[in-house]
Structures are given as structure tokens and as C-alpha cells.
Structure 1
Amino acid sequence: MDKQEAKKKIENLIQLLNKYGYEYYVLDQPTVPDATYDEKLQELEKLEAAFPEFVSESSPTQRVGGQPLDKFHKVEHHVPMLSLGNAFNEADLRDFDRRVTQLAQEPVTYICELKIDGLAIALTYEDGKFVRGATRGDGTIGEDITSNLRTIRSVPLTISEKRTIEVRGEAFMPLHSFLALNKEREEEEEMVFANPRNAAAGSLRQLDPKIAASRNLDLFLFGYGQWEAEEIGSHSDRLNYLSELGFKINPEWKRCETIEEVIEYVAHWTTERPNLSYEIDGIVIKVDNLQQQAKLGFTAKNPRWAIAYKFPATEAVTKLRDIELSVGRTGVVTPTAILDPVKIAGSTVQRASLHNADLIKEMDIRIGDTIVLKKAGDIIPKVVRAIEEKRTGNETEFSMPKNCPSCGSELVHLEEEVALRCLNPDCPAQLQEGLIHFVSRDAMNIDGLGEKVIEQLFQAKLIKTIADIYRLKKDELLNLERMGEKSVQNLLTAIDASKTNSLEKLLFGLGIRHIGAKAARTLAVHFQTMDRIQQATYDDFIAIDEVGEKMADAIARFFSEEKVIALLHQLSALGVNMTYTGADHSSKAALFSNQTIVLTGKMENFSRNEAKELIEVNGGTVTGSVSKNTDIVIAGEAAGSKYNKAKELNITIWDEQQFKDAIDS
């Protein structure tokens, strides 16, 4: 291929892939399967490698993140990014309306938008190209995070507007990304993020853009900062124009003719807020007419033409009765708050993680304290602070023990870890937690072997190692309490069935440090057999794109241990599968070929990730929201607004059994 032909081919592929990316990440309406996108992207990568002089900044290959930065440089906002005044109730909203109408001296129309709980950012485009992205900072000076913002797929690298334009919005982490990230961090024994906002902010302030690229961030635009010769007369027209330029706009905005409509909108989203796939912490209300905005002007801190209604905090007050210590499968000792039962955000909470002793000391939390509890991200119960003025003098300070609460071994700090760790490999708590992990849904998924049954078997000394699970006998199980003929037979059948699981399930179940379910699947797909993994070296592991230095070191160390080698030999002899048997992408491609699927609600037989993987293996594409281009909505228990929207649009709705039958057929 000559240079001119290569240049033309590269330009065409960039245009096509950016179109596919816009449809997927902005419109949430993909027109091609993921496999088609991946195929075209690989073709582009090969061409750019052969002809690097034709690599363009607008190429999707440039989103993966460049070299790590030494520091972030400061950026001055030519138009300050001011904060908004707050409203906390209906009376505050009516006061805002009264002030606005008095100052405007004419009727006003409002625009209501969801207040995304993320990080405010500004994107600058010159001659149609994305040239700079910055944080809000103090409103006047922010930080240049261009390289990190380029990794967000919903940020267009080029637009049709050739005049200089600075657009503003909110970068955020969707809830599914937040939960997946925290699960991964737990598996790698790192501190979890308290909420999606902190996770998004932390991701965008990474000096290594590759970390930001791995975090699956998103962004909604809501307005302009600077724009040469703006010719638009209303905020609603601004939003429509931004959408036309290819920016992602939150679809739930509404034009309200009266304050009564504004109050109705606020009430609706106060109720519907839990059904969104991202976090919001309020509603932003703006005067729609831009001339009226200019007339109303600004105070020293805030625009007079806008206000932010803040949702009531999901907090509760309760009593801290005790602090309980638990030992995880890797030996980390974690303190947990034992609370008087309290209802918060729709559920009753009796326990909350305190993470580590340093945090307890920093917050000066004492046993017997009256504490403020909050659901971080409306998901994870978290102790916020102690109410010191309610102390009676009977509270007791907490100190971490020097010895493991399970086996009595000395607890140690490893490297620069905050957590205390028990290093005894025969610690009963670690052994038991390792067994619980092995049988869990994302690992070997052995139905009937829950935590209580594992504990019962462990206490009865019927199991100590993973291999012991496959040596269980019917007679010895029948001697245990609450173990009848039928339940024992079902348990043994489930154990036997787990032997046929694909390699990635076994790898994850083994509990290799720093290796989560995703990394386990990557290893299984790459090596195909356990033998090849055991024969591989550190260099073989680090050569895999998704495997970092810590992971490669942990894998190499794990498979060099004599106990692990012996265990794998035993499992193989007991009939446990040691090869990757993942579905062939071409085998059932017709089932969901070129179809767009939305998952909603909780499934009994599949985790969200399992269902998504099955759909993609069978040729479909999973998206997060329902639109006219959705082909099927698969609804589990407690399906919410997505189910209702599917009914409104007359979209095919399957229950879990229909999905299972289709997959199994």
C-alpha cells in the first residue's frame, strides 16, 4: 500500500470509528456490534503503526493515554466558573422565583437539569479541535487535565464549530463503573472510594492517563464558558446546539413555564433518583432566556439567574455499640462498626466498615459514641463522624490488637500498607474466607455452599483446603445439623457440576493476590490451560497488556509455591477442569446478532457482568439506557424506570427465564 492510499484509508477509518463511538458513547444507540468496532480499530492501529506520520489527534487510538505527567499545569478561566446558590426546600425555590421575576420585571421560563455529582470541567476547542481540558479549581484557576479528559469516549476530539468555543460540563463515574472499580480495589487490597464523585475526581487527577482511561468515566455538557460571537438566544437552544455538535447532553432536562412545574420536576426526580445509572445530588434551575440572564447579572459569588436545589442528605444518627474485627482471606484485619439498627436510604443498616485503625483515630470514633451514618453514593454504609457533644464519659477509645483475633499470630504492616495483616498461612479465618471466596458466584459458583455452610463444614473439620470440597462424602454430610437427604444430594450435584467450569472461574477462585475476575479471564483466554500458566514466567505475564508489574509478580510467586503446585495436582486428579472453555464468539452469534440489549433489575441466576458477557458472546451489544433503538430489555426483580420506558416504547421485554432459555437453547 502506498502512502497516499494509506493516508486515505486511515482518514476513512478514523471518520467511521468516531461515528461508531458517537453512536455508542453519546447517543447510547450503537449501530454495529462491538466485534465490528474492534476489528476496524485493529485495522487502524496496524496502519498507524506502519505509517506513523499519518497519526491524527482525532484518531480513537489516541484516547488510551499518553506518557505520565510530572505535574498538572495551572489554567486560567477567561470566564469564571462560578458556583451556584443553594435551595433546600420548596420555600427556597419560591423565594428564588420571586426574586427573579421582580428583577426581570417580566415573566420568565426556567430550564431544569439534573445536577450530576461529579467534577466540573471546561473543554476548549479551537478550529474544531479539542485543545485543552481543565478542572474548575477555585473558579478562576484550574488544572490542565487534557490528557485525562481525552480518554473519556464521550468527549469529541473534533467538532464542526470552527470558532473558539469553551464548553462546560460534569465528568462523572457511572454507578456500574464505580462498583466494579471498588470491587477490583478490594480484591487488590487497596482503599475503596467512598463515592462515585471521589472516584471520578481521583481518576481525573491521576498523572498517568492510562489509569484514567481504565476507569470508564463519562461526561455530560451543560453550557458554555467562552464562545466567539454566540448567536443563540436561550439556554434550551444552547443545549440543542451542543447536542448537534456531537456533545453528550443529559436527556432529562426540561423547560418549565412556571415555578409550579419546577417544583413538580424536583419532586419527580427526588423519587426517581435511585433508578438512574449515575449519581445526582440535586436539580439545577436556570432562567432560559439569555437576555434575561444578562439583565439579572451576578452577585459577588453566584449568578442571580440560577440556583441549585440540593436533595436532603441520606444520613442517619445511631449508636456505635462495638467494633468487631474480621480477618480476610489475605490476612488483612478490618474493623467493622456494630450499630443500633437504623433505616437509611430505604434499608436497615446494622454494620458499617471503618476500613482501618488510622481512620478510626483520625475521626476520634469511640465505642459508645452517637455517630452520624451515611450511605456513600446511596450504596455503601459509612460512618461520617461522632457527635462529641452527646458523649457521656462512658465511651471507650478503640485500639487495634497486636495479635490476630483468629489465630493469635503477631499482626504486621507490609511495605507502606495502612492495614494490619496476619501472615500465618494456616490462620483459620483466612482459610475459611478463602473457601468462601472459592465457591462464590464470580468464582466456582457452587450453589448451596454459602458462608454458613462453609463455616459449618470447616468447624466440623470436613474441609480445610479447596481440594477437600471435592472429597466430601454423602454419609459425613448427613451427620451434620440441617443436612437432609435432598439438600445433601443437591449440594454434591452442584459441587460435581462446578468441575466443568471454565479455567477463569478456577483462577479467580484460587484467590491470587491482585487478580480479580477480569484479570483471571484475561489470563485464561491468553494461556488457555493451567499447565501453560504454571510454566509461564514473570516476563510472560508482564507482556500481557492488561497485566501490571504488581499483578505479574503476584501471579509468578503464587504458581511457584509448593502448596499451590500440590493443590492444583490434587484438583486435577479430582476431575476439576484446567482449560479455558469460554464460548466461541461465532458459535451462537445469530442469537443476539446486531441487537441492542438493556439489562435492568436483579437476576437470580446471573450477575450483571455474567449476563453482559453472555449477550456479547452471542453477538449483541449491552447499553445502559432504553431508547427507540433498543431491541430487547431483560428485566430481573425490582426493575424500575427502564422497564416502564420499554413498555411506553413498546419494546420487547424478557424476564430472566426467557433469557436463560434462549441462552441454553
Structure 2
Amino acid sequence: MTGMTTPAARIVDAAAYAQAVETVVKAAAAYYADGTSPLDDDTYDRLVRGIEAWEAGHPDEVLPDSPTGKVAGGAVEGDVPHTVAMLSLDNVFSPEEFTAWTESLARRIGHDVTRFSVEPKLDGLAVAARYTRGRLRQLITRGDGTAGEDVSHAIGTIEGLPEQLAEPVTVEVRGEVLMTTAQFEHANEVRTAHGGQPFANPRGASAGSLRARERAYTVPMTFFGYGLLPVPGTETAPAERLLELAHSDLMAQAAAYGVNTTAATAVPGVTAATAEQVLARVSEIAELRAELPFGIDGIVIKADLAADQQAAGSGSRAPRWAIAYKLPAVEKITRLLEVEWNVGRTGIIAPRAVLEPVEIDGATITYATLHNPGDITRRDLRLGDHVMVHRAGDVIPRIEAPVAHLRTGDEQPIAFPEVCPRCGSDIDTSEQRWRCENGRNCHLVAALSYAAGRDQLDIEGLGHTRVVQLVEAGLAADLADLFTLTRDQLLGLERMGETSTDNLLAALGRAKEQPLSRVLCALGVRGTGRSMSRRIARYFATMDHIRAADAEAMQQVEGIGTEKAPSIVAELAELAPLIDKLAAAGVSMTEPGATPPSPTTGAAADAGDGPPVTADGVGLPLDGMTVVVTGAMTGALGELSRNEMNELIERAGGRSSSSVSKKTSLVVAGEGAGSKRAKAESLGIRLATPDEFAALIADFVG
């Protein structure tokens, strides 16, 4: 992903060049005025690169309005002069372009840079916060780089930007105002409740909200500092020495003052000694991008040492000692053509957007999730709308919002189904997610195929085609019926010989012995998955204890809150007849090694009595450890899927995690392990091969 270059738009003549300049200037003005824009980031970048390419070949025809020599900023015009020019950053889009930049920088300063700082490029609005003797006095947007707009009315409303620093210094903190994913969702709820159109994306939402002075509501935003400098004209020694500090030291000082920085996030700023180390960090941040609670559109790389920065100097638009390594766009604007209504294995009726195909992050996107009918109504989506579509990594594409200012008046309302689109039954609309009143029986084949999957009951030989046969033959009306199948019934099916029949019966017999966690997962309770099913099973130990739990007791399980608990309890009650049938058929209803909760306290019996132990009193080998698995898992344990490894970790007392951090206890690194292994090494975290891990838990598994 980090090697992809954003291609330049092809500009063939002076007329096309002039049109491109006009389009880019208007888009920038609209975005920096109120957070709206007719262009997405990728289209904007392509046009700018096309303009740069044209101007390189036609230097005598450069228009005065061209964006290439100007700072991109918070307002086209500003009335508050900056103490030091607040410049933009030039961009690179590939390792080759970055390497060329480092070579150019080395030639400029006379030697190779031996220390770079590497930080995420936050996708928000750049501002300067001025503090006098530790008190926040003024907040200014970037503007045209020399002067910006005073937005001091927002002081006190932005998380991470303290009104009083920890020390009474006179300094200017520069950084980015943005909305986290949760803040963006909340902002859209508040905005639509007041009759406004939903924001198209978090960046536009923060840009428009920061300037809003007369709204009837406020929305939360977050600040991340990325710069610290003294205010000229002050004679505060602690502030003046900031000019001599490396950038990484400045960020540590900002954090000590109480300013929010990326240090506490999953992608903290780091230093690197070589271009190769920088590119490795770029790959790490890119890999974590989809998991972050805020948007980033690249990585900022700077010469860390103050002496190198001073030697490199700055141009009129950007410093020569810093560059932005842009990542592929994760948001594009396209059109909503249709809405499909699909029924899932539990009977949930889910809307899916059919889009005019658009390429995002190297993939052609034709469909996107729409969550539920209420989400469609809240976002005021209409057929024919231009919509902002978001995709990051393997995350399912989703529609953020309609781009309302591009509406033509031809858009049409989205029709909601009045009956189940699969079976024609009534629809239960009492919850946000609508459900067919036939529940799992509406899509029985999907429910049974899921239950038989490798990560659930692992019933070998019971694939989709076989499930269809059983359902159509009337031999399986629910999951429990699978365990009462006879040899004669199976032999009566087409293409079922004696060997395949005996193999399937043997697989069903093994499935009866699966632990409770897998049985619970096979039931497909809404709001739970593989990991949550394991947590519930380990906490309660038996199905009887699970079924006896009320919402308050269910909340004792990690990850189950006040909203999810009543839903899980209600659905387990709904599933009672099926669970009884499964138990009667001999399916296991206990979790090996787990201890039921204390009937008197509601807490696990071993909660205050030392580390967890197995039923025979043996201590769990991974007690208290957070374990990350990366690479292929082969060797002494056999070839295990990621879910099987996570299941093994949690059964052995550990906690499985998908990302490496300072809290990680152990990283199991198999063949092909990449950035997660490298990060573990840099943090000094214990590493183990799959075979070493097998030895660690041998007594427990054996």
C-alpha cells in the first residue's frame, strides 16, 4: 500500500489547465470556508499533481491563482498575523519519491540526516494556540500561512487543548483539530436532530464546526499538538530554549505542559536513524490505520534536529526539512444507485448500498454498508445522491453521508420493505436493526452453514450444498435436528454413500463434544461473536449459569455493557427451546477448565483468590498475559487458524489482541511475520515461535 503513487490528472492544453486551477481553488475555498467540497482527497491530489506537471512544462503560463505556490490553510483570508509563517507540507507518494527527498535534503544541508521524526499526519484543521504565562489566550487557523482567522470562541470546547498549561510559559502550540470517529457520529446525531444535513466526513465536520459562532448546539472535537515554539518578543528563558530543541524533545515538552499529542495513541511519534527505518515505520502506521479512532491521511517525516532544520530552511509554501508521505485515499465521492435489503442468518434485515463503481485504496467498490433503516433516515440518504464512501484496509466500505450541496433535485426517497424480502413474513421493527419474525428459520441454510463452520462446531462434510439438501428434505428444521440424524436418513440423500455418511455422523459426534464457547458461537446470538462467546463461556462455565444470568450479571463479562446485556439475555431466553433440544441430543453445555461464578457475590470464584486455575487446580500458563499472534501458525500445534490460536490463548488464561503495544506480554511470530514482529522487537516485548509457544502451554494443552 505504501508504494502506491497518486497519478497526476492529465492536462492536455492551457484551457484544461485553467479549468483545473479554477476547480481546485473553488474546492479548497469551499472546504476551508465551511468544511464542504465537491472533490474528495484523491481527486484533489490528482488535479494538483496534474497542475504541477503542466506548470513544469509551461513555466511562462502559470496562473496567479495556481495552488502550487500557496499554503493550504484554514481560511482564504485571515486577519491575525502569524508570529512565524504557518506553512503547508510538500507531499511524496512512494518509497522512491521519499528516498529522492532524503537525498535532496542531504545535499542541501551538506550531510545525511541521522535522526528523523516520524508521526501520523492527522486529518483535521491546522491551528495555532497562543499561551500567555500558561493561559490559553488565542486560537488561530492557518489561513494563507502568514495570517489566519481568529477562532478563539472555540476555547474550552476542544479536548486535549488545555486552557491552562502545567507551567506558566508564554508559548505557541501548533496542532490539528479533528473529530474522532465517536465524536463524528455524535456530531451527526446532534446536527441532524437540529434539522441540519449530516457532515460528509470528520475532517469537514471539524473544519466547519471550529468556525461556527452562532449554532444552537456545540459538537466535541479533539486537539493533537505537533509543534511548539516561543512567542517572539517574550523574554521567557524556558520558552526561548525551545528553539534549540529537537522536534521529538519539543513534543515531549508539549506533553509535559499538558497538551495532547500522539504519544498516548497506537501510533506515537518516533525517531528513526535511516530512511529504511522511516519507511518501516510508515508501513507500521499504514497497517494500523484502519484501527485508529481518528483519521490520518499520511505520515509526517521531519529532520528531527534543530540544526538540520535551520540548515535546510523553508520555501514560500513549505519547509524543506519536512515532508508528508501520503497514503492512498480511503474516501471517495460516488453515487448511490440502489438499496438492497438482505436477510442474514439470524433474520436481521440489513440494507446494502449499490454504488456507482469507484476505486478506493486499490479496490473497486460497488457496495457499502448502511447499518439499519434508522441510519438511512438520520443521514437523509436518497437514491441518486452523491455520497462520501469510506474504506480503510479490510474494513467493509461504509457511506459516511450524502454530499448534500451536490444535489440536483432529481434524488428519490429510499423505500423501506413492508414485509420480509426473503420469506414475506412480518418484520419486527421494535429495535434499530429490523428482523424477520421468523428469525433464524427465515434463512435456515445460512444459520446452519455458519454453525457447522470451522470456528464454530467444525462439522467436516457439512458444507452449504449438504445443508441445502437436509433442509429441502425436511431433515433439519433447526440446529438440534442435525444431531438426531440417522444413517438411513443420510443414505437416502442424493450423492450420500456409506463412507460419506459414516464420516458425517462421526463429525457430528465430535461436534457434540465441542466446548460451550463454540456451541454458544454456533447459536449466533446477536451482539456476540467468537471472542465474546469465549468470554461468556469462560465466565459462566455452564449453559445453565448463562441462562440463569440477568442483564446485571451478564454485564460482569468483559466487553458487555448496559445496552448489549439485555439483548443477549432476551435472545438466550428466545433460544431456550433450541438449547433444550441440543442438550437432549447430547451436545456439551460446559466449558472445560472454567469455574462458575460465585452464587453469593456474582464474581468469578477465583477472582480474589490468586491466579485462575483449571478444574484440577493447575495454574493457567498465560494468566494475566496479553498475547498477539502474527504470521503463519504451523509446527508442533499443527496448522491453526487465527481464531483457533486466540481460543487457545484465552483458554490458557491469556487475553488475545490484534495489535502490539507496550501492554503486550508476548508475540507469537510465525513464518511471514512482518511489522508486528518488528514493533515487538523495538519495544523489547518477548517473542516466541509457534513451537516455543506450544512448549509454553504444553502441560495445559496436553
TM-score, normalised by the number of residues in structure 2: 0.54
Separation in 2 of the partners of 1:317 and 1:120? 20
Task: Pick the aligned partner of 2:300 from 269, 284, 296.
Answer: 284
Structure 1 alignment gaps of length 5 or more: 1-77, 125-133, 151-158, 178-193, 202-218
Matched, 1:423 2:434: no
Deviations 1:222-261 (A, max 9, x none): 66578981545233551795699895583753356xxxx5
Distance 1:424 1:86, change over 3 A: farther
Deviations 1:484-508 (A, max 9, x none): 5554444333322222233333334
The alignment of Structure 1 onto Structure 2 pairs a total of residues equal to 516
Matched, 1:633 2:675: no
Distance 1:105 1:547, change over 3 A: closer
What's 2:326 paired with?
310
SS of equivalent residue, structure 2 residue 391: strand
Conservation of the 8 A alpha-carbon contact between 2:337 and 2:383: no
SS of equivalent residue, structure 1 residue 633: strand
Worse overlay, 654-663 or 247-256 = 654-663
Deviations 1:527-552 (A, max 9, x none): 43333444444565567786544444
Within 5 A, what are the aligned runs for 1:158-197? none
Conservation of the 8 A alpha-carbon contact between 1:281 and 1:310: yes
Task: Pick the aligned partner of 1:115 from 114, 120, 132.
Answer: 120
Conservation of the 8 A alpha-carbon contact between 1:331 and 1:423: yes
What's 1:571 paired with?
582
What's 2:609 paired with?
none
What's 1:494 paired with?
507
Separation in 2 of the partners of 1:594 and 1:515? 23
SS of equivalent residue, structure 1 residue 501: coil
Conservation of the 8 A alpha-carbon contact between 2:451 and 2:523: yes
Task: Pick the aligned partner of 2:690 from 632, 654, 659.
Answer: 654
What's 2:49 paired with?
none
Give 1:464 shift.
1.6
Amino acid at match of 2:348: V
Separation in 1 of the partners of 2:315 and 2:499? 73
Separation in 2 of the partners of 1:228 and 1:593? 51
Matched, 1:462 2:506: no
Separation in 1 of the partners of 2:393 and 2:381? 20
Separation in 1 of the partners of 2:425 and 2:692? 47
What's 2:392 paired with?
376
Separation in 1 of the partners of 2:310 and 2:446? 62
Amino acid at match of 1:599: V
Within 5 A, what are the aligned runs for 1:81-480? 84-85=88-89, 87=91, 89=93, 111-115=116-120, 141=154, 224=228, 229-230=238-239, 231=241, 233-236=244-247, 238=249, 250=268, 253-255=271-273, 261=275, 275-276=287-288, 281-290=297-306, 306-313=322-329, 324-337=340-353, 345=361, 351-356=367-372, 359=376, 362=380, 364-366=382-384, 375-382=391-398, 399-411=415-427, 413-414=429-430, 417=432, 419-425=433-439, 428-429=442-443, 431-440=444-453, 443-480=456-493
Give 1:149 shift.
12
Distance 1:598 1:410, change over 3 A: closer
Amino acid at match of 1:406: R
What's 2:648 paired with?
614
Separation in 2 of the partners of 1:426 and 1:288? 58
Conservation of the 8 A alpha-carbon contact between 1:403 and 1:411: yes
Give 1:408 shift.
1.0
Distance 1:169 1:593, change over 3 A: farther
Conservation of the 8 A alpha-carbon contact between 1:467 and 1:570: yes
Worse overlay, 310-319 or 403-412 = 310-319
Give 1:469 shift.
1.8
Separation in 2 of the partners of 1:81 and 1:474? 82
Distance 1:410 1:614, change over 3 A: closer
Structure 2 alignment gaps of length 5 or more: 1-81, 130-138, 143-149, 183-198, 207-222, 231-235, 596-611
Separation in 2 of the partners of 1:376 and 1:631? 27
Conservation of the 8 A alpha-carbon contact between 1:84 and 1:306: no
Task: Pick the aligned partner of 2:523 from 475, 499, 510.
Answer: 510
Conservation of the 8 A alpha-carbon contact between 1:112 and 1:265: no
What's 1:531 paired with?
544
Amino acid at match of 1:600: T
Separation in 2 of the partners of 1:475 and 1:365? 53
SS of equivalent residue, structure 2 residue 587: coil
Task: Pick the aligned partner of 2:631 from 594, 601, 604.
Answer: 601
SS of equivalent residue, structure 1 residue 470: helix
Distance 1:576 1:387, change over 3 A: same
Distance 1:372 1:169, change over 3 A: closer
Conservation of the 8 A alpha-carbon contact between 2:525 and 2:572: no
Distance 1:83 1:289, change over 3 A: same
Conservation of the 8 A alpha-carbon contact between 1:344 and 1:375: yes
Amino acid at match of 1:229: P
Separation in 2 of the partners of 1:611 and 1:172? 37
Distance 1:423 1:167, change over 3 A: farther
Amino acid at match of 1:573: A
Give 1:567 shift.
2.4
Deviations 1:69-90 (A, max 9, x none): xxxxxxxxx9999795452558
Deviations 1:97-156 (A, max 9, x none): 999999x9998957341425578999x9xxxxxxxxx9x99986465677x999xxxxxx
Deviations 1:279-323 (A, max 9, x none): 653121334344786899999998786453322325789998975
Q: CA RMSD for the aligned pairs?
A: 6.4
Amino acid at match of 2:579: L
Deviations 1:320-365 (A, max 9, x none): 8975431124433223356799876466766543445664984544
Larger relative contact order, structure 1 or 2 (CA cutoff 8 Å, min sep 6): 1
What's 1:75 paired with?
none
Give 1:470 shift.
1.1
Separation in 2 of the partners of 1:511 and 1:435? 10
Distance 1:555 1:324, change over 3 A: closer
Within 5 A, what are the aligned runs for 1:542-581? 547-561=560-574, 564-581=575-592
TM-score, normalised by the number of residues in structure 1: 0.56
Separation in 1 of the partners of 2:554 and 2:661? 40
Conservation of the 8 A alpha-carbon contact between 1:116 and 1:170: no
Higher alpha-carbon Rg:
2
Separation in 1 of the partners of 2:251 and 2:307? 18
What's 1:29 paired with?
none
Separation in 1 of the partners of 2:84 and 2:423? 59
Separation in 2 of the partners of 1:559 and 1:526? 16
SS of equivalent residue, structure 1 residue 379: coil
Amino acid at match of 2:490: L
Distance 1:539 1:323, change over 3 A: closer
Conservation of the 8 A alpha-carbon contact between 1:373 and 1:384: yes
Deviations 1:593-631 (A, max 9, x none): 89885411365965546524533554667674499x987
Distance 1:551 1:239, change over 3 A: same
Amino acid at match of 2:344: G
Give 1:468 shift.
1.0
